[in-house]
């Protein structure tokens, strides 16, 4: 069922993103007087198509990993004399720039609408309360107290752990004193704390923004009660069922879920004797955690079970909601922040501050799409907006075969006063295909590493 949900979720996500992207090209091309021959969602042979009164074929093809808009163009096929004025290559350079740029801009618009809908509907976030502090860490040295609520980082206000993490991720490579403003438990005013960092999160795989500063989010005590069991994994084979409370392991009491998980992770392949309470009755079960390899070559124990969720205290929940007009400004602000964050992440990956293993391909996208769909509409829409921004930014990279590569050629044409030669474009196409092919292989490789 999980695999089916992942597949359906990624089809919905990619379908929406591709449709909006290509519709941007299509809509502007029509407004510029270019004849559109085909609007296709997916590649390969269409399994559904229809033609409108303008002669444009709208198709859905079998390979849902992209799409395209095919326009009338003398460079691709002979054009009838009476249709030359509708050919893409006959339009002014500024019209061609507008048509090509419209795809990525449509992705940014989709993200803007998604964020606007989230802000109007309202989102519930958890206040960023500091939990355990690691001794001799930057947070410890700065005197950041447990129980304090983080209110700003580098003078930028934050209201949730999501905003805290986004701000910290944007500081990858930072050296100096990281300014954290936090309100200690019971205090009425926030105080400033300077956390000393050196090349913060640089080349860390994967980045751990909070752990690197030496603190964890505060979480309510979570009892060791099984919430979900994955069929075929160790927990199911041992006979564990949803609702079971783990009270001991090898005779030692289990205090909470975190302690249970810690023992499981350290016990791959070893037989554990569990003391379990089920329906007010006590029983003993034998559990052998599976060994699960990590990307760094280490192994951890894994049993295929989830925890029963607990309710957060009402005092720590923050509802973020705006009126329709105010939400427009907030949506523009969030979209702009995410665009800048994505561009900066690409830059830092190129200079070596971020590991290339953070690249994600179709497998990871499918998993995250499924997880966000199961987490609810709020998480799914937020992920859709983020992925739409990523697609828009990536398409604007100045790599031939991408929209950004075509825009590069057209801006060179503006400066030189004549188009880039066919030979130069053909060479650029080969280079671009090699670059994109390499990135796709790398992303798929890291996908498989995460999966295994």
In the chain, where are the structural domains located? 104-120+323-452, 130-217, 226-308
Q: Please give the structure tokens belonging to residue 120.
A: 């109007």
Q: In what order do the strands lie in the sheet with 149-153?
A: 156-157, 149-153, 176-183, 191-197
Q: Please give the structure tokens belonging to residue 216.
A: 């964890």
pLDDT score for 389 = 93
Residue 38 Cα distances to 13, 55, 233, angstroms? 22, 9, 47
185 or 2, which is more confident = 185
Query: What would the pLDDT profile of 82-112 be if each residue is shown by its tens digit?
Result: 899 999 999 999 999 999 999 999 999 999 9
**Cα separation of 51 and 39, whole Å?**
10
Query: What would the pLDDT profile of 279-311 be if each residue is shown by its tens digit?
Result: 989 999 999 999 887 655 678 888 999 888 888
- Give catalytic residue positions: 22
Segment 424-428 mean pLDDT: 87
- With a CB cutoff of 8 Å and minimum separation 6, the contacts of 287 are 234, 235, 238, 240, 271, 272, 273, 274, 303
Q: Please report which confidence band the pLDDT of residue 320 belongs to, taking 50, 70 and 90 as the band edges.
A: confident
pLDDT score for 452 = 60
424 or 375, which is more confident = 424
247 or 449, which is more confident = 247
Is residue 301 within 8 A of residue 291, CB to CB? The reply is yes
Is residue 277 within 8 A of residue 226, CB to CB? The reply is no
**Cα separation of 358 and 336, whole Å?**
22
Query: What would the pLDDT profile of 171-229 be if each residue is shown by its tens digit?
Result: 988 999 999 999 998 888 999 999 999 988 887 777 888 999 999 998 888 888 999 89
Query: What would the pLDDT profile of 122-139 be if each residue is shown by its tens digit?
Result: 888 888 999 989 999 999
Site of tokens 């990523």? 390
| Class level of CATH domain 226-308 | mainly beta
Helix, strand or coil for residue 426? helix
> What are residue 249's DSSP bridge partners?
252, 274
pLDDT score for 339 = 94
Q: What are phi and psi of 259, to 5 degrees?
A: -65, -40
Give the residue among 308, 295, 417 at the shortest CA–CA distance from 355.
295
Lowest mean pLDDT among 161-165, 353-357, 435-439: 353-357
User: Running DSSP on this structure, what letter comes out for residue 34?
Assistant: P
359 or 94, which is more confident = 94
Over the chain, what is the mean pLDDT? 87
Domain 130-217 has CATH 3.40.50.300: no
Give the residue among 335, 407, 344 at the shortest CA–CA distance from 103.
407
| Same fold for the pair 130-217 and 226-308 | yes
């Amino acid at each position: 069922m999980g695999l089916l949900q992942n597949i359906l979720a990624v089809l919905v996500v990619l379908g929406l993103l591709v449709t909006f992207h290509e519709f941007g090209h299509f809509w502007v091309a029509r407004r510029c007087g270019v004849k559109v021959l085909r609007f296709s969602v997916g590649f390969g042979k269409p399994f559904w198509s229809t033609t409108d009164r303008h002669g444009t074929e709208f198709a859905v093809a079998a390979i849902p990993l992209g799409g395209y808009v095919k326009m009338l163009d003398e460079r691709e096929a002979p054009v009838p004399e009476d249709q030359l004025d509708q050919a893409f290559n006959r339009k002014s350079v500024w019209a061609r720039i507008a048509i090509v740029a419209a795809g990525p801009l449509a992705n940014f618009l989709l993200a803007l609408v998604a964020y606007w809908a989230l802000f109007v509907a309202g989102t519930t976030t958890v206040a960023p309360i500091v939990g355990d502090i690691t001794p001799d860490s930057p947070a410890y040295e700065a005197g950041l107290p447990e129980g304090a609520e983080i209110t700003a980082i580098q003078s930028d206000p934050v209201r949730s752990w999501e905003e805290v993490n986004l701000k910290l991720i944007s500081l990858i490579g930072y050296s100096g004193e990281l300014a954290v403003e936090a309100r200690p438990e019971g205090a009425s005013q926030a105080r400033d704390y300077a956390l000393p960092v050196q090349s913060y999160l640089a080349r860390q795989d994967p980045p751990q923004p909070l752990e690197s500063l030496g603190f964890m989010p505060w979480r309510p005590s979570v009892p060791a009660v099984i919430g979900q069991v994955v069929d075929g994994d160790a927990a199911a084979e041992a006979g564990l069922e949803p609702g079971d409370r783990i009270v001991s392991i090898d005779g030692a009491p289990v205090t909470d879920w975190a302690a249970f998980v810690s023992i499981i992770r350290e016990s791959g392949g070893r037989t554990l004797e569990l003391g379990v309470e089920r329906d007010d009755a006590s029983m003993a079960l034998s559990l052998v955690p599976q060994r699960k390899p990590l990307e760094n070559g280490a192994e951890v124990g894994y049993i295929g079970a989830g925890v029963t969720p607990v309710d957060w205290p009402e005092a720590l929940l923050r509802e973020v909601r705006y009126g329709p007009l105010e939400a427009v400004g907030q949506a523009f602000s969030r979209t702009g922040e995410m665009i800048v964050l994505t561009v900066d992440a690409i830059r830092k990956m190129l200079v070596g501050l971020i590991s290339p293993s953070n690249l994600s391909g179709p497998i990871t996208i499918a998993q995250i799409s499924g997880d966000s769909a199961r987490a609810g509409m709020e998480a799914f829409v937020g992920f859709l907006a983020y992925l739409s921004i990523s697609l828009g930014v990536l398409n604007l990279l100045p790599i031939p075969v991408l929209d950004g590569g075509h825009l590069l050629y057209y801006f060179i044409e503006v400066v030189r006063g004549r188009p880039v030669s066919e030979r130069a474009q053909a060479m650029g196409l080969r280079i671009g295909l090699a670059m994109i092919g390499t990135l796709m292989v790398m992303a798929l490789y890291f996908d498989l590493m995460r999966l295994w």
